[in-house]
Amino acid sequence: MSNDQTNRIDTTRIGYVRKPVWVHPWGYAEAFVIAAAVLVIGFALEWVTPGKSLSAPSWPWNGLIGGVMLLIPIVLQVTLPKNPMILWMSRIPASMGAITAVTISVLLMGLFVQGQSSPVAWVNRLGLTEMTSSWPFLMSIAWFLFVLGMTTVRRSIPLKRKNIGFLLNHLGLWIVVAGGIFGSGDLQRVTMTLEQGQTVWYGTDRDGNMVEMPLALELKRFHMEEYPPKMGVLNHETGNLIVRNEKDLVEIEAGSTGTMSGWHYQIHKFYGESGQIGDRYEPINDYGAAPSALVEATNPDSGDTLRGWISCGSFAMKHRFLQLNEEYSLAMTVPQSKRYMSLVQLYTKSGETGLIDIEVNQPRSAEGWKLYQYSYDDRYGKWSPISVIEAVRDPWLPVVYTGFIMMLFGAGYILWKGKEMANEAGEDDQ
């Protein structure tokens, strides 16, 4: 065999030699092992401390911890910039490993119902139903923030114009994640139960503790808009409506006709608000008025025709069915809410007053709190004398918004500079 052939064979063999694990420069293998170790250690801690959910610290401790987590990468990159371990923690393999750990935590969060105890004991003990307050989730987030911080600091020392977009994107992401996690310790949710004629300046948190508010609310009026009720056939034996297809449950509208469970029907009259007068219903606009409809039903097989009123009733009126035979009756469902809101008088310690309307998905702001329409007394429906307002205070929300804005500007900067800057930035990761 010639020397040239020998050299070619040796070179080929060298190409198949794998680098030993844990020998620098580290790569993806080490990154995924560390990611797995973070999760395993987290689940181990969760196993030995069952039922002790972690809670995010509040101010000033959350700010202090966040500052330390940002300061450590700066110190390491300044003092040990050429250390192989420091270099590796600011490169792509470490980032992919950290992202994988967080992704697995989020997937587990989606696979198991959160906030509800599982009948499987080991699921509860591993914290799989309370992932956001579990060791594995918080440890994976901490590792992700550390690696992201190392990467960001490395590309910002020294700061170059070509790295501005990268810095805005990555520092913005760090602020968004850190602000969301650390800010949860200062997030407050308080429910205020309002009744007409009463001024309420306190609420109740999720633990049932009373919280004095920097504002007061007085309910002036609760308003609800409803969808038209529906009509269906009630099975006397089961007490349930027969719903096999969309034709078995129809929206009530005066003049409409159709076939339902073998009966032809015609709706002669429909009142959205009515009261019973003798054997009939008449439209009224009074407290506790209920929907009603005059219906005629015909059995095509027997030729029998029945005519009568149906009503879903209310807290002040009984429901009413039209009996078709011994087994079935025509019945009206309770209308579903389409839109509801509260008109309230607002008072604040700073002297601000005024009438405000609080509607679902349209909150109002006062004294640093967001006021949401939360609930009402569903026993009374649109006649509810009670309105429940949820007040939310999240002082870290501007921090999170700042991070999003930085990411937006970073993406815009990269698009503006184009491919040339992206190529230059990529060379620094080699």
DSSP code string of 192-256: EEEEBT-EEEEEE-TTS-EEEEEEEEEEEEEEEEEPPPEEEEEETTT-SB--SSGGGEEE--TT-
Share of the chain above pLDDT 70, in %: 92
Is 142 domain-assigned?
yes
Same domain? For 196 and 326 the reply is no
Q: Tell which of 286, 317, 335 closes a domain.
A: 335
Please list, in sequence order, all residues whose beta carbon lies within 8 angstroms of the beta carbon of residue 212, skipping any fewer than 6 positions away.
201, 202
Is 14 domain-assigned?
no
Is 161 domain-assigned?
yes
Taking all residues of the chain, what is their mean pLDDT, rounded to a whole number? 89
Q: Tell which of 335, 359, 377 closes a domain.
A: 335
Same domain? For 217 and 235 the reply is no
Is 5 domain-assigned?
no
Same domain? For 283 and 343 the reply is no
Same domain? For 50 and 77 the reply is yes
Same domain? For 316 and 356 the reply is no
Same domain? For 90 and 117 the reply is yes
Please list, in sequence order, all residues whose beta carbon lies within 8 angstroms of the beta carbon of residue 58, skipping any fewer than 6 positions away.
185, 186
Same domain? For 62 and 83 the reply is yes
Report the pLDDT value the prediction gives residue 418, as an integer from 0 to 100: 65
Report the pLDDT value the prediction gives residue 11, as an integer from 0 to 100: 43
CATH number for the domain that contains residue 205 = 2.60.98.10
Same domain? For 166 and 31 the reply is yes
Report the pLDDT value the prediction gives residue 7, as an integer from 0 to 100: 46
Is 378 domain-assigned?
yes
> Does pLDDT of 18 surpass 90?
no
Q: What are phi and psi of 390, to 5 degrees?
A: -100, 125
Bridging pattern class, strands 257-260 and 263-277: antiparallel
Report the pLDDT value the prediction gives residue 6, as an integer from 0 to 100: 46
Is 64 domain-assigned?
yes
Q: Tell which of 312, 335, 358 closes a domain.
A: 335
| DSSP-assigned states of every residue in 77-100 | HHH-TT-HHHHHTTSHHHHHHHHH
For residue 352, what are the CA distances in angstroms to 128, 154, 388?
A: 45, 49, 21
Same domain? For 38 and 165 the reply is yes
Same domain? For 165 and 87 the reply is yes
Is 41 domain-assigned?
yes
If pLDDT is split at 50, 70 and 90, which confidence band does 290 have? very high
**Residue 280 is part of which domain span?**
228-335
Is 12 domain-assigned?
no
- Least reliable range by pLDDT among 11-15, 22-26, 232-236, 372-376: 11-15
Cβ-in-10-Å burial (0-12, 13-18, 19+) of 171 comes to buried
Same domain? For 213 and 343 the reply is yes
In a 3-state reduction of DSSP, which class is residue 313?
coil
Query: The pTM is what?
Result: 0.76
Report the pLDDT value the prediction gives residue 27, as an integer from 0 to 100: 92
- Least reliable range by pLDDT among 137-146, 161-170, 323-332: 161-170
Report the pLDDT value the prediction gives residue 349, as an integer from 0 to 100: 84
Same domain? For 127 and 88 the reply is yes
> Does pLDDT of 115 surpass 60?
yes
Please list, in sequence order, all residues whose beta carbon lies within 8 angstroms of the beta carbon of residue 424, skipping any fewer than 6 positions away.
162
If pLDDT is split at 50, 70 and 90, which confidence band does 17 have? low
**Domain total in the chain:** 3
